[in-house]
């Protein structure tokens, strides 16, 4: 069943075939409008028998789209389904937890052999790429990078480099991640940190804008911790290697100086090696205390003085989940955002050693545009005419999204009803079977339609001549 809470990826095939996101390949510089680097993705087709085909196709997508194009997610054409590929035999585990010693972290390549061995890290009967004729495609995945880290238990944990990057380097801040692959570390930090200093071994930051704790932790350690800075510098250097070939193999190491807990899904490659291809949760670094200060905009209604109210702005949301994601255009500053709920949680949210102070600044409210938006993008927002029809993307944190808006509830209800309809689930408790054949929506004059629409109950009352009581 299609996951209606996730937008389609524009560069994925527009057909009805089922495919699995099998492997991340090389990273490529993007010389287009957005400048957001791209990554080559390997997709494997699922045969009608339920087995994987040896046929593989490759697509370049924005690295920002790795928030949804995750390992072993199953896609029908360019739409993600609610299913995951789990056919790995007895070695597959869900939400496996490890405490990692980050000082042991090392970057390896897919075809690299184990130390003092003629064998690679990935047994072909466990995880492999099939024959690839095109040399460019072959080397993109043969040189794909992974991060190997030893756990306290002695287990070796291997994580795809760009999965480690996406899920533990500010998972709710796409633009910061994008810039880390484009610019030098200190230049990136200068756009977020106004000033900072170390006092009694604690990290103190003044930020240009209010940030989530995951972002604050990363910015603090990237600014002040020498171990974190050394590891982060290897990422940019690995992408800046001089070469006549466009493929780059990013070196991604944990920015946590000493320890990091990770929880995720994966398979055992052997008795002591676990391949965690999808991270579901990770811990903050707690080596140092972090204190941050930032201003937070408080928006004021432009109404008469008697009705004037102050509130923290609730950004306009795009409710149309059929709008495709593109890496061809930047979003427009005035356009609304498509919200995507992060699939990565923080494991030590109650013990972050982070203190954050915010000071409100009042400005006039402006309403984001939601009309005539044909695509969404994770690029840097601007005001050019090329961006007029492109909306923004915002990643919501699991921990900080403590409520559901009406539009979110509607999506969940529609998704559940579609599942019951498509899977022909019996919804009756009696002997007589009852199935959902069609789903109808009610418009303002109480007419039924198979087309999705939103109707306010107050509008229904007005149309029917009833009084609206407030």
Question: Max alpha carbon distance in the chain (Å)?
Answer: 83
In this prediction, residue 14 has a pLDDT band, given cuts at 50, 70 and 90, of: very high
Residue 470 has pLDDT above 80, yes or no: no
In this prediction, residue 408 has a pLDDT band, given cuts at 50, 70 and 90, of: low
> What number of other Cβ atoms are within 10 A of residue 120's Cβ?
16
Q: Hey, what's the torsion of the CAs at 21, 26, 31, 36, to 10 degrees? A: 60
Which range is most confident: 42-56, 378-392, 425-439?
42-56
Residue 307 has pLDDT above 50, yes or no: no
SS3 state at 221:
helix
pLDDT digits (tens, 9 = 90+) for 437-466: 888 877 666 777 776 655 555 555 555 665
As a whole number of angstroms, the distance between CA 85 and CA 107 comes to 26
SS3 state at 179:
helix
In this prediction, residue 424 has a pLDDT band, given cuts at 50, 70 and 90, of: confident
**Strand pairing report for 354-364 and 345-346:** unpaired
7, exposed or middle or buried, with CB in 10 Å at 0-12, 13-18, 19+? buried
* Nearest Cα to Cα of residue 6 among 72, 65, 90, 91: 65
369, 336 Cβ separation under 8 angstroms: yes
**Strand pairing report for 202-207 and 156-160:** unpaired
pLDDT at 206: 94
In this prediction, residue 19 has a pLDDT band, given cuts at 50, 70 and 90, of: very high
* Structure tokens, 346: 């923080």
Q: Hey, what's the torsion of the CAs at 49, 54, 58, 61, to 10 degrees? A: 50
Over residues 195-205, mean pLDDT: 96
* Nearest Cα to Cα of residue 348 among 289, 290, 283: 283
311, exposed or middle or buried, with CB in 10 Å at 0-12, 13-18, 19+? exposed
First to last CA, the chain: 41
Q: Which residues partner with 392 through β-bridges?
A: 337, 377
* Residue tagged 């009042």 (tokens): 362
* Residue tagged 């022909």 (tokens): 424
pLDDT digits (tens, 9 = 90+) for 228-241: 999 999 999 998 87
Instruction: Kindly tell me the sign of the dihedral angle through the C-alpha atoms of 429, 433, 439, 444.
Output: negative
Residue 136 has pLDDT above 70, yes or no: yes
* Nearest Cα to Cα of residue 71 among 115, 23, 109: 23
Which has more pLDDT, 348 or 192? Answer: 192
pLDDT at 399: 55
Over residues 148-156, mean pLDDT: 97
pLDDT digits (tens, 9 = 90+) for 210-224: 888 999 999 999 999
* Nearest Cα to Cα of residue 261 among 241, 281, 236, 234: 281
SS3 state at 332:
strand
Buried b (16+ CB within 10 A) or exposed e, 424-437: eeeeeeeeeeeebe
């Amino acid at each position: 069943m299609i996951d209606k809470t996730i937008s389609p990826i524009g560069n994925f095939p527009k057909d009805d075939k089922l495919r699995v996101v099998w492997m991340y390949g090389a990273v490529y510089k993007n010389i287009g409008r957005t400048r957001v680097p791209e990554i080559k993705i390997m997709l494997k087709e699922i045969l009608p028998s339920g087995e994987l085909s040896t046929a593989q196709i490759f697509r370049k997508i924005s690295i920002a789209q790795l928030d949804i194009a995750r390992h072993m997610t199953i896609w029908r054409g360019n739409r993600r389904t609610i299913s995951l590929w789990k056919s790995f035999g007895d070695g597959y585990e869900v939400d496996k937890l490890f405490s990692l010693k980050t000082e042991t972290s090392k970057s390896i390549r897919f075809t690299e052999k184990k130390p003092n061995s003629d064998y690679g890290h990935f047994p072909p009967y466990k995880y492999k790429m099939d024959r690839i004729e095109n040399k460019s495609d072959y080397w993109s995945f043969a040189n794909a990078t992974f991060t190997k880290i030893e756990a306290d238990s002695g287990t070796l944990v291997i994580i795809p480099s760009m999965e480690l990057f996406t899920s533990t380097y500010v998972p709710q801040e796409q633009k910061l991640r994008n810039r880390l692959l484009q610019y030098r570390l200190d230049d990136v930090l200068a756009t977020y940190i106004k000033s900072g200093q170390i006092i009694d071994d604690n990290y103190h930051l003044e930020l240009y804008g209010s940030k989530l704790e995951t972002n604050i932790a990363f910015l603090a350690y990237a600014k002040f911790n020498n171990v974190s800075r050394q590891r982060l510098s290897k990422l940019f250097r690995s992408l800046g290697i001089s070469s006549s070939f466009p493929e780059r193999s990013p070196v991604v190491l944990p920015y946590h100086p000493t320890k990091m807990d990770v929880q995720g899904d994966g398979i055992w490659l052997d008795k002591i090696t676990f391949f965690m291809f999808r991270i579901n949760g990770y811990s903050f670094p707690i080596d140092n205390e972090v204190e941050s200060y930032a201003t937070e905009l408080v928006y004021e209604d432009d109404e008469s003085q008697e009705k004037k109210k102050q509130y923290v702005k609730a950004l306009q949301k795009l409710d149309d989940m059929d709008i495709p994601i593109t890496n061809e255009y930047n979003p427009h500053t005035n356009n609304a955002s498509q919200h995507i709920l992060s699939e990565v949680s923080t494991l030590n949210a109650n013990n972050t050693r982070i203190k954050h102070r915010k000071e409100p600044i009042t400005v006039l409210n402006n309403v984001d545009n939601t009309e005539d938006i044909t695509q969404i993008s994770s690029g840097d927002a601007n005001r050019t005419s090329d961006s007029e029809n492109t909306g923004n993307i915002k990643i919501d944190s699991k921990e900080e999204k403590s409520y559901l808006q009406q539009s979110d509830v509607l999506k969940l209800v529609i998704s559940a009803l579609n599942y019951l309809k498509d899977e022909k689930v019996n919804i009756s408790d009696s002997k007589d079977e009852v199935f959902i054949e069609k789903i109808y929506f009610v418009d303002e004059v109480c007419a039924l339609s198979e087309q999705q629409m939103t109707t306010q109950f107050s509008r229904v009352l007005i149309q029917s001549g009833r009084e609206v009581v407030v």
